[in-house]
Copies of this chain bind each other. A is one copy, B any other.
Amino acid sequence: MIPVRLVSVGKAVPSRTVSSESLDASLGRPPGYTFKKSGVRSRFFAAADESQSALGARALHDALRNASLGVDAIDLLISACGVPQQALPNTACFIAAAAGLPAGTPAFDVNASCLGFLAALQVAGGLLASGAYARIAIVSSDLASRGIDWDDAEASLIFGDGAAAVILERGTAEQGIRAVKFATYPEGRHLCEIRGGGTARNPRAGAVPADYLFRMDGKAVFKLAVQLLPAFLDELMARSGAGLDALDVVVPHQASALGLLHAAKKIGVPEAKLVRIYETHGNQVAASIPTALYEAVMTGRARPGQRVLMMGTAAGLTIGGLILDL
């Protein structure tokens, strides 16, 4: 057990709500097409003047407000976004600026694509355990809309923008990370990707605008994930020393309608324990899991004393799961 206490949660969404009907119209599709293809009824898209870091800062402020804390209460900011705001410097610097954190507050990034929030939770648990910091904020903010290829019917309709944050302190002996497991299968590294933006492709070396758009082979990802998930879940539960019936709430990554359906069936917990926000948010990349956690906490579905499983798959391909005793 790694002692971690979830002090508070926060959430932010950008200003524009975009219904699937309005996407049908703007994409020249028949009414109902977008919902049928994606399972999303509406999602949020940032306006051109809204930034990833400003959205993340709003989520952080919300989490601080929910804990009655000020910006000076944070000993370390971890940014856990799927895609950076720019190639250099790291995104935490921009979130710290937008949030008005006191100058000198430590800030770095943890990135495990859609599972960055879970990796950051494990990192924060270790840092709290080592005594390096007393209070840590994690912020996940992603603007998937900036990289959508509207010619890609499969990948363009499932995403939404958003941000979420948590404040963490050291927990008691009964409170914290009960079990955690990550597994990366690099054979899947090109199945979900944005090929530009780093050292591999750039304009001088002939990069084209399409290299900066998200592309995915959804069928291949699903096939790989389905093959790997059962053994992964067994191992994670074994590490927790208890069975699925000990779980009070399950927060899956809100990857896709098919992914959620499969997760529900495979994890085999009652529907009432599953947190779903996909229909009203879409896939929010790294912000999906913490936004769903926010909904579970704020609606009272996840309460102190309960056991929460957060789990999902991410571009990479990475599978991750973390069992948190609240």
Contact = CB atoms under 8 A, between A and B. Distances in A.
Contacts of A201: 86
Interface in A126-143: 126-132, 142-143
Query: Which of A94, A184, A196 has the most C-beta atoms of chain B within 10 angstroms of its own C-beta?
Result: A184
Interface in A203-219: 203-205, 207, 209, 212, 214
A274 interface: no
Contacts of A203: 209, 212
A143 B204 CA distance: 14
Contact of A51 (B2, B127, B200, B315): B200
A109 B109 contact: yes
Interface residues of A, number: 81
A93 interface: yes
B109 A52 contact: no
B202 A97 contact: no
B87 A318 contact: no
Contacts of A91: 111, 198
Interface of A: 2, 48, 51-52, 76-77, 82-94, 96-97, 101, 103-113, 116, 119, 122-123, 125-132, 142-143, 146-147, 180-187, 189, 192-205, 207, 209, 212, 214, 314-318
